[in-house]
Amino acid sequence: MDLEKLEKLNDLKAKGVITEAEFQQQKEKILNEADLTKVSVGNSSATLDFNDVKTYGMFMHLAQFCAFILPVLGWVVPLVMWFSRKDDAHIDQQGRIIFNWILSALIYGFVSLILMFIVIGIPMLFALIVCNIVFVIMGALRAKDGIIKNYPLTIRFFSVNES
């Protein structure tokens, strides 16, 4: 909840600038806005703030798991998330990291499919799936900690300023 907004709103009501009905309507809007940006985790008082760039970066990485629902969503969802907040330097770097990996994984997957004709492609494809799951989780944890670092085995298509 944004306390400053509520205080300003209360001041406007006290000065007679807005009516009680307008006050209640705006108060409800502010409270609902706060509820949409924070989600409680279990019974604890901890919250995840979706406006925080580190949390947003973490969810960008985890959005790659949408590929298990529909394969194209694994790159469309992170792409939309990246472009919607690309003006933030941290989000831009995380988006570059994600798409370096997605393009690398596509190349590795294509090579694995070709090598399936000589049998070695089958274990390579399995290893790629395992690496994808592990690397996405590692990337999400790093993003939450504010660390900017490419996934292992990534071909660097986009330059990333690693920290």
Q: Which two tokens stand for residue 154?
A: 């990534």
Q: Which two tokens stand for residue 82?
A: 């990246």
Tell me the β-bridge partners of 76: none
CA dihedral 37, 65, 108, 142 (to 10 degrees): 40
Length of the chain: 163
pLDDT tens-place string over residues 1-39 = 467 777 887 888 888 888 888 888 888 887 776 554 444
pLDDT tens-place string over residues 51-71 = 688 999 999 999 999 998 999
Tell me the β-bridge partners of 88: none
pLDDT tens-place string over residues 77-99 = 999 999 999 999 999 999 999 99
Distance CA 96, CA 35 (A): 30
Q: How many CB atoms lie within 10 A of CB 29?
A: 12
Q: Decide: 77 and 67 in contact? Cβ < 8 Å.
A: no
With residues binned 3-state (H G I as helix, E B as strand, rest as coil), the percentages for the chain, rounded to 5, are 70, 5, 30
